Amino acid sequence: MDTPELGLLEHRLLFVTGKGGVGKTSVSAALAMLAASRGKRVLVVQVDAEGGLPGVLESGPIAYDPIEVSPNLWAMSVDTEEALREYIRRQLRLPIITRLGPLARSFDFVANAAPGVKELLVIGKIMWEIREKSYDLVVVDSSASGHVVSQLSAPNAVNELVQVGRIREQTQWMIDLLADPVVTGAVIVTTPEEMPVTEAIELLDRLESETDVNVAAIVVNKVLPELFGRGEQEVFDALNSVEGRRAFAQVLGDDPAALLDGADLASRLRRSRGKHLERLRSGIPGDRPMIFLPQLFSASHGIRSTRELAEAFDDEIGEA
């Protein structure tokens, strides 16, 4: 699919995905915070009940009804059962049901038999927020790699099952919005490490072949700063030799081993990450925007880290 010349934050809907632990939740929160700081009305959505959004936003608990956690920034958490309850209330115009009981059981039966139904409810709720509320941008802290593909292809899957009627009408508009690269984008998060890179390349492939959603950007998170340029590396190598260490110790009046070992480790770690980064580059078509976010070294992983990542994003994506 052609990638339009469109800034990341100009989308209306971004699904942030990638391998577990790469920083999806942190990146979702940082993107949402950056967009809100630029004056957009932003909703950030947690799909996984265990998701760490309240932690990175320091927002207190979030629930099915969006709450404003800071100026211009709303947060919510979607779960299937509440989405089903709302769907029944709105679409089937049944009275509010507090406990789903037998209906939930028959729903489970249908949902397990027909792939995509559960995913459709979650996606449907998110799309409904986009359509009905005046958010400029909705950022979804999506499920990890495998599941997001079935989530994003759910409207198509259900649409194919149901040929006529209301459900078909209700899935078609979602399909149209999801497939529109001006509206919707997937953001694949990865880190310069072996498994995350492999998974990112596979995920890009699957998103392109199994869904209509355009991959808007690849975010490479936890990139280590470059410690030494080529010149410094030579100096370091000389210092780090047996004679170098001996001379260094004399000047220092102390054993420099711990210092040099530390620097050596950091430098080798960066080089090994560089190798994975190269593999990522060669596995991803050149026209995909790549955004690099630094490894943070702060002890806490709360709102301060999120702000730092938002600033790094700001530097990377400029005005767009």
Ligand X SMILES: Nc1ncnc2c1ncn2[C@@H]1O[C@H](COP(=O)(O)OP(=O)(O)O)[C@@H](O)[C@H]1O
Residues that bind Mg ion (CB under 5 A): 24-25
Nearer to ligand X, 85 or 276 (CB): 276
Binding of ligand X at residue 25 (CB under 6 A)? yes
Question: In the complex with ligand X, which residue's Cβ is closer, 26 or 159?
Answer: 26
Q: Rounded to an integer, what distance in angstroms lies between the CA atom of residue 189 and that of residue 145? A: 10
Q: Does residue 221 interact with ligand X by CB under 6 A?
A: yes
User: Which residues within the stretch 299-318 sit at the binding site for ligand X (CB under 6 A)?
Assistant: 301, 309
Query: Which CB atom, from 36 or from 56, has the smaller least distance to Mg ion?
Result: 56
- The dihedral built from the CA positions of residue 214, 113, 96 and 89, taken in this order, carries a sign that is positive
Say how many C-beta atoms besides its own lie within 10 A of residue 20's C-beta. 12
In whole angstroms, give the CA distance from residue 124 to residue 169.
Answer: 12
Q: Return the number of the residue (107 or 313) whose C-beta is nearest Mg ion.
A: 313
Stretch that binds ligand X, among 16-24, 36-44, 83-91, 245-253 (CB under 6 A): 16-24
Q: How far is the CB of 101 from ligand X (least distance, A)?
A: 34
DSSP conformation letters of 132-196: HS--SEEEEE---HHHHHHHHHHHHHHHHH--SHHHHHHHHHHHHHHH-TTTEEEEEEE-SSHHH
- Count CB-CB contacts under 10 A for residue 244: 16
Q: 25 vs 184, which CB is nearer to Mg ion?
A: 25
> Per rule CB under 6 A, is residue 34 in the interface with ligand X?
no
Q: β-strand 73-77 against 67-70: which pairing, if any?
A: antiparallel
Which among ligand X, Mg ion, none contacts residue 146 (Cβ within 5 to 8 A by kind)?
none
20 belongs to the binding site for ligand X (CB under 6 A)? yes
Contact indicator for 254, 245 with CB cutoff of 8 Å: no
Contacting ligand X (CB under 6 A), which of 21, 94, 237, 271?
21
Pick from 289, 284, 280, 16: which is nearest to 148 by CA? 16
Minimum distance of ligand X from residue 312's CB (angstroms): 8
Question: Among 291, 149, 288, 126, which residue's Cα sits nearest to residue 216?
Answer: 288
Whole-number Cα distances in Å, 92 to 86, 132, 157, 198: 10, 18, 21, 44
**Least distance in angstroms from the C-beta of 170 to ligand X:** 30
List 8, 14, 15, 24, residue binding ligand X (CB under 6 A) = 24
Q: Which of 226, 207, 290, 154 is nearest to 1 (CA)?
A: 207
Smallest separation (angstroms) from Mg ion to the CB of 153: 21
- Which stretch, 21-29, 64-72, 91-99, 204-212, contacts ligand X (CB under 6 A)? 21-29
Q: How far is the CB of 141 from ligand X (least distance, A)?
A: 7
Considering only residues 152 to 211 of the shown chain, the ones binding ligand X according to CB under 6 A are none
Question: One-letter amino acid identity for 103?
Answer: L
Contact residues toward ligand X (CB under 6 A) are 20-26, 52, 221-222, 293, 295-296, 301, 309
